[in-house]
Amino acid sequence: MALRRVKQGQIIGKFMLNRRSLLKGMAAAAAGAPMFPGLAQSGEGKASPKRVIFFLQNQGFDPKTCIPAGMKNSGSLAKATLPEPIEGLEPYKERLHIINGLHGLHTSPSHSAFFGALGGYRGSDGVPPSGPTIDHTLSETLPETLLPHLCIGMDSLGNMRSKPTVANLSASGAGQPIFMHSNPNHLYEMLYGGISEGEIRKQHEARSGMFERVGQLAAAKAGGLQGLSKERYGQYVDGFGEINGLRERLGKVSTQLRDFAPEVDERYTNPEFETDWHDALLDLGISALKSGLTSVLTIGSGRGEIFGAWKGLGVEQQGHNLGHMKQPNNPIWVKIRQYNSRMLVRLMEELESVPEGSGTMMDNTLIVYTSNNADSQHTSGKNWPVMLLGNYDGAFKTGCFTQLDGKRPINALYNSILRASGVSGDRYNMSEKMAAKFDSGTGPLKEILV
């Protein structure tokens, strides 16, 4: 989803459903076709749908917090012991692939590469996206879903309340950011308001009515504009039409949605710590995947910036100061990374619980865990560690550690995911000139693909 405008915590914007997608969705609904292509395709004799989850933790990902002690060369993880920060993944080592030695020198990642982390291009603070990011590209590549791409962002309670949507990590194209949802109440109301009761239902109906009225007024005012102003205003008007269309289509599949909607409890309405909202947001992301609403989920812990808080873990330090601490053997960062690991385990367990084809949803899923600023908060991007979980229907090697030579960029990883998704191409978001300077090879990373 991409939101064009945010006003005082209310989501007012444009979902990245182009006209072709809208017409296809409407035609499918009219014909009685399944509105959940992801789940509809699963079954004996049919190709299983694929899905990708990106989990980005801010402040950097020091390789010493994920590479087993003494392991310097590529090899199996079978006899290795995972470091304390990710020890929660020990039972899942056969599904884990740790990659060290990619780089993002061309992304200017100090403090954060922002859109450049998933775009593979320069993306410093205040720099708009210069192209699409890999998560959005995949949402257009994988089978169409009702909600092409869902982004959720986790931060301090104050930040999530004052700015329930921000755009720092994902984009649908040059100058077209995609906003993350950070208030679980707003996101729940958008996804499941049509099947809810009580106050949530009232808010859903009120907001839907507001969007419709504002959309009508905006359309009426657009007639008197000329040139570029009319074009820009037209996009704004389209945004209201598309968000109202999405709400209507979600209402039409309420029977299926009801089975996947999380229970609204005090974590939503009366959170004690920001981690209550973090957990609720994760539940909503999982529900969107399991229901087939989306096949691409992006999680931004710290929302791609230098902030973030984890008081619910007993971590009193927050924000920028966390990035100035060394991560290895640091009890604060051990707690944060272990919390991330528990979230990764929850994602795997939830997807493992849903049968799909001859296996489960997790068999057809790839989880990409990394940071939006390489190995540390103040970094050149020389080393960009990544962990993969899942083999994506047998496409990726697992249960191993791969040490690269530092001469291939993160773009090569993204190209590898696209190849495994059935898209040919030698590079992702990298011109020949740029590649000549920053990439020693072409195509996907042969070291990580089966």
Res 436: pLDDT? 96
**Has residue 339 got a pLDDT over 70?**
yes
**In whole angstroms, what is the distance from residue 318 CA to residue 320 CA?**
7
| pLDDT tens track for 36-93 | 544 434 444 456 799 999 999 999 999 999 999 999 999 999 999 999 999 999 999 9
| pLDDT tens track for 285-314 | 999 999 999 999 999 999 999 999 999 999
Res 45: pLDDT? 46
Strands 96-103 and 386-389: antiparallel
**Has residue 212 got a pLDDT over 90?**
no
Domains within the chain, CATH numbers bracketed? 5-189+269-438 (3.40.720)
Nearest one of 383, 413, 405 to 109, comparing CA atoms? 383
Residue environment code for 164-200, b if the CB has 16+ CB neighbours within 10 A, otherwise e: bbbbbbbbbbeebbbbbbbbbbbbbbbbbbbbbeeeb
